[in-house]
Amino acid sequence: MWRDSIVGQAEIVSALHESITQDTLSHAMIIEGSSGYGGLPLVLSLAQHILCSQDGATSCGQCKSCQQVEGLIHPDLHIGYPVVRKEGKERKNITSKDYMTEWRSMILENPYTTYNEWIRSIAKKTANGDINVKECNDIIQQLNMQAFSGAYKVQIIWIADRLGSNGNKLLKLIEEPPEGTFIFLICDNIDTILKTITSRCRVINMPRVDEASMSAALITQDVEEDQAKQISFISDGDFAQALTYAQLEQNNLMELCLQWMKLCADFDLQGLRQWSTEFGKYNSEEQKVILNYFLKILQSVIYHQMIGPDAVKLSASDKAMLLRNQSLLSLTVDEIDLISQKVSRMITMIQRYVTSRMVMFDASLSIGTLLKKRA
């Protein structure tokens, strides 16, 4: 059942399922939060409960409806999401339906898929996906039709951030959804949604996933316990990020980060150029993960200085590597603060699709200059 695929979030999950049982669930809702907090699996679990043919505190998991929702093939479960143009067709005629097979298989494999991962899987270059006017018209049309199999219909709009001003088309529908219809808008950031829409919906802010649940979920995915704890600690409650970390782990992030700092400290231009090119080969999620991990290393250095080695929450092997690295351990709090600011800025720029190789090289030079001054 979809409910079992949600990592943590026990409180919000049971509250919302309870309101389905009590028949008090709002008919137009916005679920806000990073994809890694689990908005999509949560909404799919609600859809499964709403469409289940049995009465109960949650979906039965056995009936035909439950199984159809499980496979994302229920005729009354409609899902819209951003897409890109397709060979041989005009963009204005392309909707989610043209990508249903790809989307379904991606989400069935990982309901914590992010927008970037999705778009990268269907577009060759860094493209911008959006939800177009035809999609909005289709949504209106299909929700105004009779339900196929029961009394209820569910419309999910995944990454509603990409509706833009087309969202206006859906205003009336959201204000007065047809009988038995539930509309869920899932977005990373509510500020991207028209105020006219947000004001008509009940808004749920997804909290971050707690470390213990995240750790337990990683262990079921064959991550070793020590590693799972470390990944949960550095993922900031974002399970999508945790999964990327888990995949990257074999590259040994600690070694990568220490190597980078050494190149900066030596002001090794040739080496930094090569390093920036290598860094550019990672995808944007992976780059973000590497940089976030570096921020955690810097934070650990501060903990080490303020409290002592026991306060360093890295895995045993990474901690040993850090404690051997005198040049990092001797950074002052002010220096760490400056470097952290630069790294945070890099993350923002990479998210805005600035060429990562350039961002990396540029930041490396300024961190190198900072480190050179102290030598």
Which positions touch Zn ion (CB under 5 A)? 52, 54, 59-60, 63, 66
**Cβ nearer to Zn ion, comparing 52 with 295:** 52
User: Which residue, 59 or 155, has its beta carbon nearer to Zn ion?
Assistant: 59
Q: How far is the CB of 185 from Zn ion (least distance, A)?
A: 25
In the complex, what is the shortest distance from the CB of residue 18 to Zn ion, in angstroms, rounded to a whole number?
17
Q: Which is nearer to Zn ion, 66 or 297 (CB)?
A: 66
Nearer to Zn ion, 1 or 83 (CB): 1
Pairwise CA distance, residues 58 & 52, whole Å: 9
* Residue 106: partners with Cβ closer than 8 Å, 6 or more residues away: 113, 117, 118, 121
SS (H, E, C) the chain: CHHHHCCCCHHHHHHHHHHHHCCCCCCEEEEECCHHHCHHHHHHHHHHHHHCCCCCCCCCCCCHHHHHHHCCCCCCEEEECCECCCCCCCHHHCCHHHHHHHHHHHHHHCCCCCHHHHHHHHCCCCCCCECCHHHHHHHHHHHCCCCCCCCCEEEEEECHHHHHHHHHHHHHHHHCCCCCEEEEEEECCHHHCCHHHHCCCEEEECCCCCHHHHHHHHHHCCCCHHHHHHHHHHCCCCHHHHHHHHHHHHHCHHHHHHHHHHHHHHCCHHHHHHHHHHHHCCCHHHHHHHHHHHHHHHHHHHHHHHCCHHHCCCCHHHHHHHHHCHHHHCCCHHHHHHHHHHHHHHHHHHHCCCCHHHHHHHHHHHHHHHHHHHC
Distance CA 67, CA 214 (A): 26
Residue type, 57: A
Closest separation in Å from C-beta 154 to Zn ion: 14
- Shortest Cβ distance from residue 22 to Zn ion (Å)? 18
**Residue 19 CB, nearest approach to Zn ion (Å):** 18
Tell me how far, at minimum, the Cβ of 77 lies from Zn ion, in Å: 13
Residue 362 C-beta: closest distance to Zn ion, Å: 55
Q: What span, in angstroms and rounded, lies between the C-alpha atoms of 260 and 243?
A: 23
How near is the Cβ of 296 to Zn ion at its closest, in Å? 42
**Shortest approach of Zn ion to residue 65 CB, angstroms?**
5
Give me the phi and psi of 365, to 5 degrees please: -65, -45
Looking at the Cβ atoms of 25 and 63, the one nearer to Zn ion is 63
For residues 47 and 197, give the distance between their C-alpha atoms in angstroms, rounded to a whole number.
21
Closer residue to Zn ion, CB minimum distance, 48 or 155: 48
Residue 81 or 182: which CB sits closer to Zn ion?
Answer: 182
Minimal distance, residue 58 CB to Zn ion, in Å: 9
> What is the Cβ-side half-sphere exposure of residue 8, based on CA atoms within 13 angstroms?
22
- Taking the least distance from each CB to Zn ion, the nearer of 2 and 99 is 2
CB of 154 or CB of 258, closer to Zn ion: 154
Closer to Zn ion by Cβ: residue 55 or 109: 55
